[in-house]
Structure 1
Amino acid sequence: MADEKGSPERRAALLETCFEVFCKNGLENTGLKMLAEACGVTNGALLYYFGSKDNLIIESTAHCMAKVEDDFMARAPRSFEDIERFLKEMPYITAKLHGGKYRFMYQVYASPKYREHGKVFFQGVNVRYHQYAMLLSGKLGMPVDFIQGMIYIFVRACVHYALFEDEEYLKLQLDAIRVSLKLFVKENRPKEENL
């Protein structure tokens, strides 16, 4: 990867603009000139900041998909009672706001050329999901590991829906989450409530 040049804010703005162009046009149809024009800079300026188009692809994908995760978690349930709202609205919000981003991310990370970068990104996802689960544990009254597992299942359902608008798959995944939550509540209620 290129040395980090320029202010973090400027780099982030360039990454986000380039990512939008990539998402709109795809990996193969997006050239450096197109990216530079969208950013209002020269090809040379983009190369100065990122070293190569490959570095720009890698950095913009990782940066912007981490922002998508942050947006997702900013809408997370605030209490156990709020989980149903989250389950009902997030797949549709995700599809509307981030469907193209997920399609591009998979195009990049499924490519043999960028697969190792995908592995690194998803190792970071594991860390971030654990952190999200730790934040939610107290609010939802559930163990971190249980929440982290539910996050994986739910995000996968949302991403699949964003990619393919497959209502049947989404319903089956959401029903599995609801059943898991019901079983969790049943197993963890004080004994006097189970009478």
Structure 2
Amino acid sequence: MANEKGIPERRIAFLETCFEVFCKNGLERTSLKMLAEACGVTNGNLLYYFGSKDNIVIDSTAHCMAKVEDDFMARAPRSFKDIERFLREMPYITAKLHGEKYRFMYQVYASPRYREHGIEFFRGVSVRYHQYAQLLSGKLGMPADFIQGMIYVFVRACVHYAMFEDEAYLQLQLGAIRTSLGAFMGAQQQNPMENPNGKAGGNAL
């Protein structure tokens, strides 16, 4: 943002350190003093960068959860045949690497104090998921809108598992995704359409 203060690289380092502290201790139990000590600076120095503890909460959550999205999509399937690998592996990788982060994110955005910032963040999520879907469309041989819908379902399943380790819920959601993919394949075989590269869609599947 135009009104950000301080050295940009240092600001990012502070955001990531503060987010780690929040995730370990929770929203209410994390003090400004704890954040400053973890960053190796004074309370005043941290406030110079962010203005208030609320701003640290808002900015660190948005920054670090966007990084989690990038990590998620870096592991995205590289072809239609690779989708099953992604479905099998990603929920457990997400839970191991990012479970704490998702729990804190929902603690923040479920709070009335930060709800408007949550609405803004998830608007950005929708834009980013659309961009991811467009990038994947050619690789997977499927329309971007269909992929975007599947991303939403799959991410919800992964996040729920990361937060609650609910295997039954996860498998039901994965089953729904596999059923949708199977139905899409069947429809493509019966009624071949133009794929994103302008060739017959049935061959890509």
CA distance in 1, matches of 2:162, 2:107: 14
Q: Give, as a single letter, the amino acid of the residue that structure 2 aligns with 1:124.
A: G
Q: Give, as a single letter, the amino acid of the residue that structure 2 aligns with 1:6.
A: G
- How far apart are 1:63 and its partner, in Å? 0.2
- How far apart are 1:178 and its partner, in Å? 0.3
Partner of 1:142: helix, strand, or coil? coil
Counterpart position of 1:20: 20
Counterpart position of 1:160: 160
Counterpart position of 2:195: none
Counterpart position of 1:103: 103
Matched, 1:78 2:85: no
Could you list the per-position Cα deviations for residues 58-100 of structure 1 after superposition, in whole angstroms to 9, with x for gaps in the alignment?
0000000000000000000000000000000000000000000
Q: Give, as a single letter, the amino acid of the residue that structure 2 aligns with 1:157.
A: A
Tell me the TM-score normalised to structure 1 length.
0.96
List structure 1 segments (4+ residues) > 4 angstroms apart after TM superposition. 190-193
Where do 1:106-117 residues align within 5 Å?
106-117=106-117
Could you list the per-position Cα deviations for residues 121-161 of structure 1 after superposition, in whole angstroms to 9, with x for gaps in the alignment?
00000000000000000000000000000000000000000
Segments of structure 2 that go 5 or more residues without pairing to the other structure are 193-201
Q: Give, as a single letter, the amino acid of the residue that structure 1 aligns with 2:50.
A: F
Tell me the TM-score normalised to structure 2 length.
0.91
Counterpart position of 2:39: 39
Q: Give, as a single letter, the amino acid of the residue that structure 2 aligns with 1:167.
A: E
Counterpart position of 1:188: 188
- How far apart are 1:6 and its partner, in Å? 1.8
Identity in percent: 81
- How far apart are 1:8 and its partner, in Å? 2.1
Cα root mean square deviation, aligned: 1.5
Counterpart position of 2:134: 134
Q: Give, as a single letter, the amino acid of the residue that structure 1 aligns with 2:162.
A: A
Matched, 1:92 2:92: yes
Q: Give, as a single letter, the amino acid of the residue that structure 2 aligns with 1:58.
A: I
Give the aligned length: 193
